Copies of this chain bind each other. A is one copy, B any other.
Amino acid sequence: MKNLVEYPIPNLPEKTLPRVVIIGGGFAGLKLARSLKGKPFQVILLDKNNFHQFQPLFYQVATAGLEPSAISFPLRKIFHNTKNVSFRMAEVSRFDSEIKRVYTDAGYVDYDYLVLGLGADSNYFGSQTIEKYSSPMKSVSEALYIRNKIISNYERAINRAKMEDRKALMNVVIVGGGPTGVELAGAMAELRNSVLPRDYPELSFENMKVVLIEAGPSLLAAMSDEARAKAEEYLEKLGVDLRMNTRVKDYDGRSVHLEGQDPIETETLLWAAGVKPNQIQGLAESSYAPNGRILVDKFNEVFDHPGVFALGDNCLLADEEYPKGHPQVAQVALQQASNLAKNLVRATKGQDQEPFKYKDLGSMATIGKHLAVVDLPFVKFQGILAWMTWLFVHLMAILGVKNKLFIFFDWAWSYLSFDPSLRLLIKPRYVRESERKELIEQK
């Protein structure tokens, strides 16, 4: 975290309307900013990246199916021609609710309404070694890192004379049986079955294991029994080694140690086992639930902090239907943002606020190249039709006509050719030491 700077963020538009400062350009923050287009507010959107990331497709970046740019959307471009929304790339350190001010590495900004859409990061449940050696996938950079790591492991494996020495480089172990883990395992198995053997005819891919580890008794715990059963069946058909009721004890970068089972050799442990909310300085300890989520009322307003709201993964809104809070999924974030936008506008008209009510639109997960499981409110189905539904829903959710088209072409091409073409190991180049240091400090 950089030092606080004691001047206002330069070049912001003059404040003529009530100012809504949104921290985070994820599903919640972006949706809110878009919903406030042309409304009587001045919106300042802050994010440490200059793009929105479409999380549901990170696994395709990690498995060489899509380019990072296909699922990353420049925030400035989204708000071209939108006079009341300004974007600023900045890292936020804390806010002061007494004087209504947010501090960032680019200066401070004063707000009338503050909205926290901070999202969540990987949860290693306290294990420092797992945090150190495993690969998380909570950003497009992390997904790209996984892709590069896997490709470079194969380039290294081929230079080992003994099969024994290649095992740890070839095996891939995924921890976490939610949609991310399931989708990663399916895509990795497809790579092993049809892509990698053609790239590395010198290696024997029967020796490559794709292992999916889940601590609970089944995959996709939030989905229907049918979806769970089919997901397991599909993954097993693809040759994924499923380990239910299995806990990871430790990982040293080379072997995954399990409770009561033999260790698995791998240099690639993909960690999708859980999330913890991102935090910001400025709230009392009592504002947080024990799991780190910010406690909000039915209007997403933080208790005892009038004018401060939290949305999506980093908040906990308990109601009758969801006494322990809502699931940390994109739909909740989007709907909360929508509701808050309406409430902010209602307030300007002196109308009553509407409490948030989650409408569960269902959930889905894709497995491999042409199968998926789909739970909709009134119908559940699996297989190729489910996969087409998954394709359609995700294409529609992607921002921008160009991205939709390009992803569609990309998918169609991969489907027809069985050969994604993104197996490039492009290493970053640092021209000088000081820049390398700058990058490290930025982290």
* Interface residues in chain A, defined as those with a beta carbon under 8 Å from any beta carbon in chain B: 7, 9-13, 49-51, 67-69, 72-74, 76-77, 80-81, 86, 88-90, 106-107, 132-133, 135, 139-142, 144-145, 151, 155, 158-161, 198-200, 202-203, 400, 402-403, 405-406, 409, 413, 417, 419, 421-432, 436, 439-440, 442-443
- Give chain B residues whose Cβ lies under 8 Å from the Cβ of A425: 49-51, 89
Within the assembled complex, what's the spacing in Å between the Cα atoms of A68 and B425? 11
Beyond A142-B429, A145-B431, A428-B428, list 6 extra A-B contacts (CB 8 Å): A9-B159, A68-B426, A139-B429, A402-B417, A406-B406, A430-B440
Within the assembled complex, what's the spacing in Å between the Cα atoms of A159 and B90? 9
Asked whether A428 and B88 contact (CB < 8 A) given A423-B76, A436-B440, the answer is no
Among B144, B159, B198, B409, the residue within 8 A (CB) of A409 is: B409
Nearest Cβ in chain B — how far from A251, in angstroms? Answer: 12
Taking a contact as CB atoms under 8 Å apart, the answer to whether B161 and A10 are in contact is yes
Q: Could you show 25 A-B contacts with beta carbons less than 8 Å apart? A: A9-B159, A11-B203, A12-B202, A13-B202, A50-B155, A50-B424, A67-B69, A74-B199, A76-B200, A77-B198, A89-B155, A133-B431, A135-B431, A140-B426, A141-B426, A141-B429, A144-B428, A145-B428, A145-B429, A402-B421, A403-B421, A428-B439, A430-B443, A436-B436, A436-B440
Nearest Cβ in chain B — how far from A404, in angstroms? Answer: 12
Within the assembled complex, what's the spacing in Å between the Cα atoms of A142 and B426? 10
Nearest Cβ in chain B — how far from A84, in angstroms? Answer: 12
Within the assembled complex, what's the spacing in Å between the Cα atoms of A383 and B204? 54
Within the assembled complex, what's the spacing in Å between the Cα atoms of A179 and B261? 62
Within the assembled complex, what's the spacing in Å between the Cα atoms of A68 and B67? 9
Within the assembled complex, what's the spacing in Å between the Cα atoms of A108 and B159? 11
Taking a contact as CB atoms under 8 Å apart, the answer to whether B140 and A69 are in contact is no
By Cβ-Cβ distance, the 10 closest A-B pairs, closest first, are: A10-B161, A141-B429, A106-B159, A11-B202, A76-B199, A428-B428, A89-B155, A74-B423, A51-B424, A72-B424
- Give chain B residues whose Cβ lies under 8 Å from the Cβ of A132: 431-432
- Give chain B residues whose Cβ lies under 8 Å from the Cβ of A403: 421
Taking a contact as CB atoms under 8 Å apart, the answer to whether B77 and A423 are in contact is yes
Taking a contact as CB atoms under 8 Å apart, the answer to whether B133 and A432 are in contact is yes
- Give chain B residues whose Cβ lies under 8 Å from the Cβ of A142: 429
Taking a contact as CB atoms under 8 Å apart, the answer to whether A424 and B198 are in contact is no
Within the assembled complex, what's the spacing in Å between the Cα atoms of A12 and B203? 11
Within the assembled complex, what's the spacing in Å between the Cα atoms of A417 and B402? 10
Nearest Cβ in chain B — how far from A105, in angstroms? Answer: 9
- Give chain B residues whose Cβ lies under 8 Å from the Cβ of A7: 161
Nearest Cβ in chain B — how far from A24, in angstroms? Answer: 16
Within the assembled complex, what's the spacing in Å between the Cα atoms of A422 and B72? 9
Nearest Cβ in chain B — how far from A194, in angstroms? Answer: 12
Among B13, B69, B106, B422, the residue within 8 A (CB) of A421 is: B69
Among B86, B159, B198, B421, the residue within 8 A (CB) of A400 is: B421
Within the assembled complex, what's the spacing in Å between the Cα atoms of A49 and B424? 8
Among B50, B135, B151, the residue within 8 A (CB) of A50 is: B151
Nearest Cβ in chain B — how far from A285, in angstroms? Answer: 30
- Give chain B residues whose Cβ lies under 8 Å from the Cβ of A443: 429-430
> Which residue, A73, A80, A400, A427, has most C-beta atoms of chain B within 10 A?
A427
Q: Which residue of chain B has its CB nearest to the CB of A131?
A: B431
Nearest Cβ in chain B — how far from A115, in angstroms? Answer: 22
- Give chain B residues whose Cβ lies under 8 Å from the Cβ of A400: 421
Nearest Cβ in chain B — how far from A165, in angstroms? Answer: 9
- Give chain B residues whose Cβ lies under 8 Å from the Cβ of A67: 67, 69
Nearest Cβ in chain B — how far from A6, in angstroms? Answer: 13
Taking a contact as CB atoms under 8 Å apart, the answer to whether A426 and B88 are in contact is no
Among B133, B135, B159, the residue within 8 A (CB) of A11 is: B159
Nearest Cβ in chain B — how far from A175, in angstroms? Answer: 15
